[in-house]
Structure 1
Amino acid sequence: MITYDKLFIGGTWTEPSSPDLFDILSPHDESLVGRAAQARPADVDRAVAVARAAFDEGTWPNTPPAERIAVLRRLNVLREARAEQIAAVITAENGSAGWFTRAGQPSLTRQANAYLKAAEDLAWEETLAPTDPAATVRSVVRREAIGVVAAVIPWNSPFSASLAKIIPALLAGNTVILKVSPENSLSTGLLADLLAECGLPAGTISVLPADRETSEHLVSHPDVDKIAFTGSTGAGRRIASIAGQQLKRVSLELGGKSAAIVLPDADLAKFTAGLAFSCLLNNGEACIAQTRILAPRRRYEEVVAAVKQVVESLKVGDPQDPDTFIGPMIRRDQQQRVRDYIEIGIKEGARLVTGGPQVPVGLEQGYYVTPTVFADVDNAMRIAQEEIFGPVLVVIAYEDEDDAVRIANDSEYGLSGGVWSADEQHALAIARRVRTGTVTINGAPIGFDGPFGGFKASGLGREYGFAGLNTYLEYKTVTI
């Protein structure tokens, strides 16, 4: 069992304001995995105070960019050396299948490298040539840190979500308070250990596991200059309202209900080979999961049968078993939420192709859900419009390509999506018409050099690469 009985505040493990520890239970069998201290508002106040002092009076914001890059590159190296341990802890506390947590480790390296390259290529200060040859004034444009950043992440992918925020924020010269979910206290405790080793100045970063009330105290704090949030759209709206009242900078990566458009010429074998990774990754607890499958009317039953076959072939069970593809939901309330949505789908009149609200046989202990597929789904149904965040797929028929694009765009969300076609250029033309921040073609993985984020209710701002780094910078113009 792992225990973290202190809080990581300003780069130092510190006694918490409350001695009570939070029990982290295995989503697989409900055994005790670890215990950890949780931050209260008083701990937030301490973390913000040291971050404020480190930004206003410390060295980090004025450290040359090359030196900041070297420190964050060291963090990347330290993390790579402990990749297996990190993956194992996330599997234990989250229930994410081992294949997923292990496969995600190289992705973290690519994500970090994209930020590091963006920082190396950025013109941190440049003199603009005047557009008027007769001008007597020249402009110097500087890119500077915003200040104290509150980075708030969800539980489903703790390392990826954490690093997507703290690496660019720190590269830009900000100081950071990372607020994580209580369930992720163990993996983010490991992250704090790495941050203590990489060479950051005192006060630069804190890592605080805490509940929602404490999180609101953090984002509302008057000494926080920017909020970077990943989570539900409902929570994002609340945070946006706080940011609006206080005129804080804010970026939001929110929910999704993404569509996979299977065009009439798609190779169904290739689609089914990639379906599980595009639609059911991380037990379905992924904002980018393409959980609406749009199939042409004339191939509809063929697609439904193929989806059924794939879903039924996936092993559900102990996330530490190397053969398991889908593990449990993270908590009992999340398990019940997903099962409730399956009941809603049945009541709405959708055809239950496979799965259902019953718990998988032999997996009554833990927080398991039977992977479920619905057919004959109308896009207006709740199971097609609301983010379920579990292993539930809906297959929707369309008449022609215009109808497919209309259905894909008929959603309050716009985070991700996919197009499957034998003609790559034609797929690209369809992708251009889909109103989402990211579209993959034929199951391609999301890259880290390009921007990532959402349209509509899927958020504000972008992460990854130059766009993600730019989110943590202010522009200053000096005229001479």
Structure 2
Amino acid sequence: MIETTPGTVTDYNPATGAAVAELNLSDLASLPERMAQARAAQRQWAAKSFKERARHLRLMRDYIVDRAEDLARTVSESNGKTRVDALATEVLPCALACNWYGKHAGRILSPKSRAAGHLLFANKRTTVEHLPLGVVGIISPWNYPLSIPFGEVAMALMAGNAVLLKVAAATPAVGRAIERIVAAGELPEGLFQHVVGSGSKVATAFFENGIDKLFFTGSVPAGKTLMAQAAQTLTPVSLELGGNDPMIVLADADLERATNGAAWAGYQNAGQSCGGVERIYVEEPVHDDFVALLARKTRALRHGPTTDDINVDVGSLTTDGQLRTVQQHLEDALAKGARIEAQSQAVGDVERGFFFPATLLTGVNDTMLTVCEETFGPIIAVEKVANAEQAIEKANRSNLALTSSIWTTDTKKGRALAARLETGVTTINDHLYTHGLSEAPWGGWKESGIGRTHGPEGLLEMTNAKVINWDLLATQRNLWWYPFDQATYRGLLNALRFAFPKGPLQWLGASLKLTPFLLRKMFTKWHTD
């Protein structure tokens, strides 16, 4: 996004430099009015049943399916990824999200009865309800400019909320596409609003105008800044802040599948996937074979702009700043002894775009930026390890802990090792795709963020939990109410011994003493004369 004239921004294709769209910047001075409109619409929306809300999401799903190619083209032109990539990892997950949340939100968020914890509370009845937050803010990144925000929009709407969405400054044209998808859902006016502008300014305006919760996907520094801002008003936040994801290849792995998976999860979206492969630890017996096979596949890949024949594998990076970061990480690795084993081949005019070849590195170590930091580009760093223990130790060193993977033909062993990896998601013989699973929670540990999106956990993040408790049988007083006297004290002691007796005789004695006191306390008036 580049501000071209006062009050407008232009979205440029990072692969070609061509202008994609021009949008008007939002007037943040009008945000109080827009917030009031969203709150009014939200009250109307929250009164609808889950079935009614799902009908609106089905309209959006149908729009996505009918215009899948247009949406993929928009994402490709705004973000730089290939159209195949856009269709597979952006458009398809959006349709799946409409379908899954529409079908399951009612079951997940409907009131649930909670059984009494003990016979002492047998007269109490409890339900837990999950009520809408109100107006949620979503600030989304440029690497998946459609699927990340839209999945959260779908969750927010099914939970009964209004939404203010701010897409990444680099991909505003995708925000306009989301506007059109949501418009197809025929929502109450003002329930969904797209805000165009600087991320920091919009976030500040959200907090100042009482946003009920902020969902942010982006860098660790930006997430920490937002969390500090949110602390001033105790505004809840959900943060997904990136990853430096390890892949562990065991000696018994299927190397054909492992190298296929590594190439896709490491180079897909030009490596701009917080859940993609960045570090690969390979057990020594298969290291050389793994590298040789992955090198052949890396050389076979083609990077360049997407053309009408769509015969390209890796698109461009999205921003010139990200390109500089990837270049810096490669230069640092080579200066410290790493070797380039293979790179993809350029096709088409790559001079005008932010292209970087898919690059396979070996001879890496923990001092290199591409190993110890998030590169967020099409570089895969492979390191030989003696065994799985060493691989897990190295994998867990990172302060980022979003996803990881284990590659083995022994699923039982893979699951046992997966449980020891300090990441929010671990897959076995696959990587990266789980963000597309609407049913699976998404999020990380450590500095990869807090909170979860997607799945039942993501829906619950869009609500306030409310307990409603009442008495089955009306009484005058509870056991622990006034007046306090010796009888109350003894009654509480007998209640404790009744609940946790040392044996049947103590239970019987406590029961005989507790019952008449309890009946008097509950069913006689408190005489204050």
Give me the TM-score of the superposition, normalised by structure 1.
0.91
* Corresponding residue of 1:12: none
Q: 1:19 to 1:79 in 2, by over 3 A?
A: farther
- CA deviations on 1:82-137 (whole Å, 9 max, x unpaired) are 11110011111111111101223223222333322331322522343333445333
1:306 is aligned to: 293
Task: Say whether 1:463 aligns with 2:450.
Answer: no
In 1, the alpha carbon distance for the partners of 2:186 and 2:357 equals: 46
What CA distance in whole angstroms lies between the structure 2 residues aligned with 1:335 and 1:415?
A: 23
- Matching residue's letter, 1:62: A
Counterpart CA distance in 2 for 1:270 and 1:369 is 25
Select the structure with the greater relative contact order (CA < 8 A; seq sep ≥ 6).
1
Shift of 1:415: 0.6
Unmatched 5+ residue regions in structure 2?
Answer: 471-529
In the other structure, the counterpart of 1:332 is 320
For residue 29 of structure 2, give the secondary structure of its aligned residue in structure 1.
helix
State which of 385, 403, 407 in structure 1 corresponds to 2:390. 403
What residue is the counterpart of 1:15 in the other structure? none
Q: Which residue does 2:240 correspond to in 1?
A: 253
Partner of 2:497: none
1:360, 1:369 within 8 Å by CA — same for their partners in 2?
A: no
| SS at 2:195 equivalent | strand
Distance in 1, Cα, partners of 2:107 & 2:392: 37
Deviation per CA, 1:194-237: give whole Å up to 9, x if none: 21231211221101222223233234224111000111111111
Q: Which structure 2 residues correspond to residues 441-456 of structure 1 after superposition, within 5 A?
A: 441-443=428-430, 445-446=433-434, 447-456=437-446
Structure index of larger Rg: 2
Q: What amino acid is aligned across from residue 324 of structure 2 in structure 1?
A: Q
Structure 2 residue aligned with 1:170: 157
Contact 1:114-1:464 at 8 Å conserved across structures: no
1:151 aligned residue? 138
Q: Give 1:335 deviation, angstroms.
A: 1.6
Partner of residue 491, structure 2 = none
Q: 2:112 is matched with which residue?
A: 126
Three-state SS of the structure 2 residue aligned to 1:113 is helix
Kindly report structure 1 stretches of 4+ aligned residues shifted beyond 4 Å: 358-362
Question: Which residue matches 2:340?
Answer: 352
| Residues 44, 214 of structure 1: 8 Å contact kept | no
1:165 deviates by 1.0
> Residue 342 and residue 219 in structure 1: after superposition, are their counterparts in 2 closer, same or farther (change >3 A)?
farther
Report the AA paired with residue 333 of structure 1. Answer: G
Q: Deviations over 1:257-313 (max 9, x none)?
A: 101101011121121222222221111111111111111123322222222222111
Match in the other structure for 1:205: 192
Tell me which residue corresponds to 2:86: 101
Structure 2: how far apart are the matches of 1:464 and 1:401? 31
Count of residues paired in the alignment: 461
Distance 1:37 1:323 in 2: 35
- Of 214, 217, 230 in structure 2, the residue corresponding to residue 243 of structure 1 is 230
1-structure distance, mates of 2:444, 2:144: 18
Out of 56, 75, 82, the residue aligned to residue 60 of structure 2 is: 75
Q: How much has 1:404 moved relative to structure 2?
A: 0.7
Which residue is 1:115 aligned to? 101
Amino acid at match of 1:91: S
d(CA) in 1 for partners of 2:286 and 2:273? Answer: 28
Render the CA deviation track for 1:41-79: whole Å, top value 9, x for unaligned: 224444323223434xx3112222221222222222222
Instruction: Give the letter for the 1:345 counterpart.
Output: A
Q: Which moved more, 1:131-140 or 1:373-382?
A: 131-140
Query: Which residue, out of 250, 274, 281, partners 1:287?
Result: 274
Any unmatched runs of 5+ in structure 1? 6-17
The two structures, once aligned, show a CA RMSD in angstroms of 2.2
Taking structure 2 as the reference length, the TM-score comes to: 0.82
Range moving further from structure 2, 77-86 or 250-259: 77-86
CA contact (8 A) 2:46 2:160 kept: yes
Q: Distance in 2 between matches of 1:43 and 1:79?
A: 30
Q: Which amino acid aligns with 1:79?
A: I
Work out the CA distance in 2 between the residues paired with 1:40 and 1:347: 48
Which secondary structure state, in structure 2, belongs to the residue aligned with residue 138 of structure 1?
strand
Deviation, 1:19, is: 5.7
Other structure's SS at 2:361 match: strand
In 1, Cα distance between equivalents of 2:232 and 2:322: 32
Given candidates 72, 76, 89, the residue that maps to 1:91 is 76
Distance 2:226 2:261 in 1: 35
